[in-house]
Amino acid sequence: MKTTEQDFNGAKLPGIPAILLNMVIEIALIGWFIWTINAELSIGQTITFIVLACLLFIVSSICWGGFMQIEPNEARVMIFFGKYEGTVKENGFFWVNPFYAKKKLTLRARNLDAEPIKVNDKTGNPVMIGLVVVWKVADTYKASFDVDNASMSVTAPGASNTDNVNQKMKAYENFVKIQADAALRNVAGMYSYDHSGITDESELTLRSGGHEINEILEKQINERLAIAGIQVVEARINYLAYAPEIAAVMLRRQQADAIISAREKIVDGAVGMVKMALNKIADENIVELDEDKKVAMISNLLVVLCGEENAQPILNTGTLYQ
């Protein structure tokens, strides 16, 4: 029993010669019918020829249903009285057995821009996260027979229930959206939004993960869509933010972290400059400083270098040792 996509191995003729041949046959049958009516034949011969011409004309008319046109990145799933016979992906105009059901599928890539959803990250913080998925049908057998695309789509009032490729692709898009949503929720719950005091700085996060998080997300979506014969070309997070109810608090925390980080850099630089100043004074014997004077000088320099406001100059009328 066939369970995966296979190439169609049945009879497949070029469409243009077949359509010309069918037209010639029908014209000949019409001429035969007219000749039979006008010819001086017995009643039995006349009836036999007329019935035979009518039967052949009916067969010729049925043959018109065997023509199919396949454009680039399209496919036809061939079904013969309920049995899967293969898939035709070759571009062109062909004629096949008219009793084949030719289910049309498009293999073109499609975009899914999912609206941001609210989920809890690894630390329990509510975040808003959205994604973009580029997908296409890769296995026409699974896409046609392993998922119920009829029940996944909604037919508009007054629309026909015929084999509508756009309707089927909308059904697949709905399937992709649901599975991508489930994968996104799972990935978002595996990682923290950002580094905080309770997470390791080397740990992967949603905000800093970037390419790695997108690869994990793409892998999980592919695993879920494999049953439908759908392949994810690309999946990436396109929206990431804290939920509105905690966004203001988290913004203040990020601002505090940035201020602390900036202060640490300022202090490191100030200490280095003070050390350089003391070493230069000692190396060039500019002045001899005892421990108390060194402490006072260090204190003054740190106040000047680390202060938020500009230092106010003070005129010293005495000496350094007063």
Give the Cα separation of 112 and 132 in Å (integer): 6
In 39-176, DSSP assigns E strands to 67-70, 74-80, 83-88, 92-95, 100-106, 110-113, 117-120, 126-137
Higher pLDDT, 164 or 316: 164
Neighbours of 169 (CB within 10 A): 18
CA 181, 187, 190, 195 torsion-angle sign = negative
Output the pLDDT for position 286. Answer: 72
Confidence class for position 163, pLDDT limits 50, 70, 90:
low
Rounded to 5 degrees, φ, ψ at 91 are: -80, 145
Q: Model confidence over 35-62: pLDDT tens digits?
A: 888 877 788 888 888 888 889 889 989 9
The two structure tokens encoding residue 40: 């001086």
- What's the one-letter identity of residue 146? D
Superfamily classification of domain 110-242: Band 7 domain (3.30.479.30)
Q: Model confidence over 135-161: pLDDT tens digits?
A: 999 999 999 888 876 655 544 444 444
DSSP H or E stretch at residue 89: none
